[in-house]
Amino acid sequence: MDTSRWDNVVVLDHPLIQHKLTILREVGTGAKEFRELVKELTLLMAYEATRDFQLAETTVTTPITEATARVLAGKKVAVIPILRAGLGMVDGILELVPAAKVGHIGLYRDPETLKPVEYYCKLPEDIGERDVMIVDPMLATGGSASAAVQFLRDKGARMIRLLCIIAAPEGIDAVRECCEDVRIYCCAVDSHLNDHGYIVPGLGDAGDRLFGTR
Ligand code: PRP
Ligand code: URA
């Protein structure tokens, strides 16, 4: 898939990511391994998605001498999983950014209309001061992600990134149309959506595979 037409998309093609993604897609991968892989993939994605975090100078005393060194410049982060499948991605980010706060947005996709329906929202009070990372394994029509971005904007969020494991071209276009400044990090851009709005080849229903509900 040529992704050069989307300048807001970063496809993470690191060999470890691609290897883990292949196992994740495999129909025979059970819920336990699926959960572990989602966490590992998210940690690797977070490493890339935080690449532009600012640093500040400090001094450090090593056993040998005092030296100038660099630390994160007090960046405040909020991780916002879209329920329920986004929950599987939270721990991977917290492992790298343990001070991040976690908010939740509950959306499900109506199977008939494919439109997102909101059923829950709880965000950090200072969301407007934080770098926001929305996490959801699947970007299909883009309805859920676009709704989440708009919702967060209404609550004052400014700097928003979207981390999804697999994206469909339709979803990328939809997010780009409503939220041009949101950078999307993904491990793959797949071919298309099927008649039920599932990503092809994709990995099936991410929530069901994570939680073993089907
Ligand atoms: C899945 C997925 C996304 C959404 C993507 O959630 O986790 O949130 O679909 O589809 P879209 O881009 O077309 O909106 P789902 O609605 O199945 O809910 P679940 O996580 O509770 O299973
Ligand atoms: N939601 C999923 O879980 N999988 C898809 O392929 C599309 C939407």
**DSSP states of 102-134 as a string?**
E-EEEEEE-TTT--EEEEEEE--TTGGGSEEEE
Quote the pLDDT of residue 3: 86
Catalytic residue among 58, 113, 126, 181: 113
Question: Is the pLDDT assigned to residue 32 strictly greater than 90?
Answer: yes
CA separation for the pair 146, 194 (Å, rounded): 20
pLDDT band, very low/low/confident/very high, at 111 (cuts 50, 70, 90): confident
CB-ligand 2 contact for 211 (6 Å cutoff)? no
Quote the pLDDT of residue 61: 98
Question: Is the pLDDT assigned to residue 214 strictly greater than 90?
Answer: no
* CA of residue 117 to ligand 2 center, whole Å: 15
pLDDT band, very low/low/confident/very high, at 30 (cuts 50, 70, 90): very high
Point out the least confidently predicted range of 82-86, 108-112, 180-184: 108-112
Question: DSSP 3-state assignment of 12?
Answer: coil
Question: Is the pLDDT assigned to residue 74 strictly greater than 90?
Answer: no
pLDDT band, very low/low/confident/very high, at 41 (cuts 50, 70, 90): very high
What average pLDDT does the segment 166-180 reach? 96
Quote the pLDDT of residue 75: 75
pLDDT tens digits, 5-15: 898 999 999 99
Nearest CA to ligand 2 atom 2: 205
Quote the pLDDT of residue 81: 98
Quote the pLDDT of residue 42: 98
Question: Is the pLDDT assigned to residue 71 strictly greater than 90?
Answer: yes
Q: Ligand 1 site: residues with CB under 6 angstroms?
A: 82-85, 108-109, 114, 116, 136-145, 171, 197, 205-207
Quote the pLDDT of residue 97: 95
Tell me which ligand sits closest to the C-alpha of residue 134: 1
Contact between 163 and 45 under an 8 Å Cβ cutoff? The reply is yes
Quote the pLDDT of residue 209: 98
Question: Is the pLDDT assigned to residue 196 strictly greater than 80?
Answer: yes
pLDDT tens digits, 179-194: 999 999 999 999 999 9
CA distances from 156 to 15, 36, 130, 132, 184 (A): 37, 33, 10, 11, 20
* CA of residue 159 to ligand 1 center, whole Å: 23
pLDDT band, very low/low/confident/very high, at 4 (cuts 50, 70, 90): confident
154 is catalytic: no
- How far is residue 56 CA from its own chain's centroid? 26
Question: Is the pLDDT assigned to residue 200 strictly greater than 90?
Answer: yes
pLDDT band, very low/low/confident/very high, at 16 (cuts 50, 70, 90): very high
